[in-house]
Each structure stands twice: as structure tokens, then as C-alpha cells.
Amino acid sequence: MALIVQKYGGTSVGSIEKIKKVAERVIEYCKKGDRLVVVLSAMAGQTDSLIKLSKEITDTPDTRELDVLMATGEQVSVSLFAIAVKSMGYDCHSLLGFQTAIHTDQIYGKARIRKVETDRILRELDENRIIAVAGFQGIDERKNITTLGRGGSDTTAVALAAALKADLCEIFTDVEGVFSADPNICTHARKLDRISYEEMLEFASLGAKVLDIRSVEFAKKFSVPLHVRSSFIRSEGTMVVAENREMEKAMVSGVVYDKNEARITITKVPDRPGIAFKIFDPVFKAGVVVDMIVQNTSVEGLTDLTFTVTKTDFQETIKLLKEIAREIGAEKVLGDQNIAKVSIVGVGMRNHAGVASRMFEVLSKENINISMISTSEIKISCIIEEKYTELATRALHEAFGLGNENEKK
Ligand code: ADP
Ligand code: ASP
Ligand code: MG
């Protein structure tokens, strides 16, 4: 008898028919004797619609109230799911974030989980019930409703699995697992049977939204076995596990893109000690996550500084930097939202030279200009024009022989 935490994403619960199918599938597990905690996302498109509604009032809705609003999406799914399960003759209780309870910090819109209580869930499981937990939401110290950031239901599921010491956490989604590239844009993408936590962390942080990055961090930290699989097709998906010796050490295991990046440049910054701190401290304090940073060699004591942030944080950061530029005597602040980041990832890169130059060669053959580069032990990322994202992803996928059709090169 296993304790399993399952998470079903927005598309998987996108209609009443689909919710009923999920209920049937969960009941199949119960019939085998498993105990089930089911985390659900809002029905597909719901979170976007709720945000849109608030933006009909103002471009900058109050973040506390926006969290109260967004959390309703998941409340709808868990209640409908519980109604479906009960109509099929099984017992089920839906629980919201505050009932479970999932404790977070106070950062509305991107709250971090601090502690997950398990007493209530364990008690209800003992009463032979299926538990449906609303994903994506929690409460802060003062019982305000918080949300975990877009895609955050994955994190709810893994955090619950860790706290409950579940035997398995299954992430059910609209694709069959984690692929060598987004299968929705790269038709030759290959499903990976296994991927290490390290590689999955890179995939997630570089933009493969199949798993939320914080869910992978939790899984790695608490050694939660994660299975990413399809809601619609009965097949084995991808196991996300600790790296081990038998694992295939592919030089490159995947190509990942992120269209949610924007570039900001401050020109003619006086090149003296303390300037980077003066520029970035207020940016970090505003909760903006800065990704790549490039500083040019200085000419006559002046330098250009370029970095990337998410498109979501772009306007706010530009506004902030215009003030900072004035204070430090820099020339001007330029922004570009028509960019994307394309990356290749693979643990085998540690032992292979020349992967980067191969990547640059592929992009150059497609006539794609690279405007920024960053590397780490197991990834290389390039900033390119957004309109070339799909082309670059497919070309790199092909060149590194990652697809079903190709032999590994
Ligand atoms: P859910 O609503 O189930 O949480 P998401 O839309 O958040 O689903 O994540 C699944 C999507 O992630 C897929 O539809 C796919 O387009 C995208 N994706 C991007 N990169 C990858 C990848 N390497 N492998 C699988 N899916 C990927
Ligand atoms: N409903 C939330 C979103 O759309 C959380 C999730 O789906 O994981 O981002
Ligand atoms: Mg998701």
C-alpha cells in the first residue's frame, strides 16, 4: 500500500469531462489499495483570465488582492474534482492552502513554502478518503492568502510529497514526460526515460516549463522520486532521480528555450568601485531576478553594462534604472523585449571540450546572431532574437543528434 501524491496540471483538468477522467484514474489507484493525495491546478486558462479581469481595473493590481483572486482558480478545480469522486462512490475532501496548511513567506505572487503541515491530511487519509489539495496557494504568518508563482502547483505537490514522506510523486501533464526539447515545437524530440535532478534543475531554470524549478529543488533536497507523465496517454513517463553511475552521461541531453527574457543596457556607466552594487542592489531589493550580466571593457573610464530580467519584471526594472542612471551619471537606459534565450544542457559537457563552439557554429550557419553568452559546467546559453527561437531550437536539437530519427553524434 503506497502513499502517492499526484498533481494534475491545467490542461489535465481543463473541462468537466477531463476532471471526471482524472477522478476515474485516481479511483483506479485506490482500488489497488494506494492512498492518494491529489494536487490540482486551475482549469486551463483560468489563472490568465483572472489576471486579465483584474487588469481591466488597473495595470498594476494590488498584489495581496491578486493572490486572493488567483487562488480561486484552484478552489474551483479541487471542489469539482471532489464532487466527481464522490459521485463515483468514493470519499474525498478538498482542502485549500490554509486548511492543509501550507505556510509561506509574505511575498505575494512568488511566495516560498516554509512549512507544510501534514496532520490534517494524515488524519483524513486514515478515514479512507482521497484528499484533493489546491495547488499554487498557501498562507503567510498573518493568514493572508499567498500564491507561489506561475506553475507553482508542481511545487505544492513535491513539497507535500516531501512532508508526507510519500513513496512517489507523479506529475501528470499534457506531454508524455520530459523531452530532449519542447515536443510542441520540436517534433523529433525524444522522451527521456530518466533525468538527473541536476539536469532537470537546469532544464527548469532555463525555461522548460514542464516542471516548476522550485519543485525540482524540493525533490532534490528531500530525495522525492518524481515521475513526470501524461494525463491522457497511459505510458511510462520520465523519472527524475539522483545522478548515478549507470546513468547515460549524454554530452547534451536537451535544448531549452525561454521567451520570457528581456535585455537592459545602461550605457556609459562611470567605471569605479561600488557601481555594480549601486545599480543592482535596488534591483534585487525590488525582488527582480537578474539572469545574465555582461560588462564591457571600459573606454576612458566609461563602460556599458547589459543584463537580462524576465519580461514580467521589465517595465519595473527600466523605471528603477532610469533613476539609478541619473544618480550615478550614466548616459542612458536601453531595453529590448524581442529576445529569447536558447540553451543546451548535459552533464556529459563536463568532460567534453568544444561543445560551445559547436553551438555557435550551428547558430551561425542559420544566420542567427548571438548577443550574449553564458556558460556553466553543464549548460551553455545564448541570447538571440526572439523570432529565431524555434529555428535555433530545432537546428541545435538536430545538430547534437538528440532526436528519435538521429543517431547520437
Ligand atoms: P501543466 O499545465 O500540466 O503544469 P505546463 O504547460 O506547465 O503543464 O508544462 C507542460 C508543457 O511544457 C508542455 O506542453 C510543453 O510545451 C512544455 N515543455 C517545454 N519544454 C519541455 C520539455 N523539454 N519536455 C516536455 N515539455 C516541455
Ligand atoms: N494555476 C497556476 C498557473 O497557471 C499554477 C499552476 O498551474 O501550476 O500558473
Ligand atoms: Mg505547469
Query: 255-399, which class in CATH?
Result: alpha beta
Average pLDDT on 210-221 reads 97
CA–CA gap between residue 163 and residue 219 (Å, rounded): 11
For residue 328, pLDDT over 70 is answered with yes
pLDDT for the residue 354: 86
CA–CA gap between residue 47 and residue 347 (Å, rounded): 35
Average pLDDT on 256-282 reads 94
Average pLDDT on 332-348 reads 95
- Percentage of residues of the chain with pLDDT beyond 70: 98
Average pLDDT on 237-258 reads 85
212 lines ligand 1 (CB under 6 A): no
pLDDT for the residue 135: 98
Q: Pick the ligand that lies closest to the CA of residue 155.
A: 2
For residue 58, pLDDT over 50 is answered with yes
pLDDT tens-digit map of 132-141:
999 999 999 9
Q: What is the Å distance from ligand 2's center to 230 Cα?
A: 17
Q: What is the Å distance from ligand 2's center to 47 Cα?
A: 7
Average pLDDT score, the chain: 94
pLDDT tens-digit map of 371-405:
999 998 899 999 999 999 999 999 999 999 998 75
Q: Please identify, by atom number, the ligand 2 atom nearest to the C-alpha of residue 10.
A: 7
pLDDT for the residue 249: 66
pLDDT tens-digit map of 5-47:
999 999 999 999 999 999 999 999 999 999 999 999 999 999 9
- Give the residue, by CA position, lying nearest to ligand 2 atom 4: 47
For residue 408, pLDDT over 90 is answered with no
- Choose the residue to mutate in 11, 12, 39, 41 for probing ligand 2, maximizing ligand atoms within 8 Å of C-beta: 41
Query: 3-174, which class in CATH?
Result: alpha beta
CA–CA gap between residue 104 and residue 116 (Å, rounded): 9
Average pLDDT on 178-188 reads 96
If one compares 159 and 299, the residue with the highest pLDDT of the two is 159
If one compares 285 and 337, the residue with the highest pLDDT of the two is 337
Q: What is the Å distance from ligand 1's center to 229 Cα?
A: 11
pLDDT tens-digit map of 141-168:
999 999 999 999 999 999 999 999 999 9
151 lines ligand 2 (CB under 6 A): yes
Domain with CATH 3.40.1160.10 in the chain: 3-174
pLDDT for the residue 409: 39
pLDDT for the residue 134: 98
Domain with CATH 3.30.2130.10 in the chain: 255-399
pLDDT for the residue 407: 40
77 lines ligand 2 (CB under 6 A): no
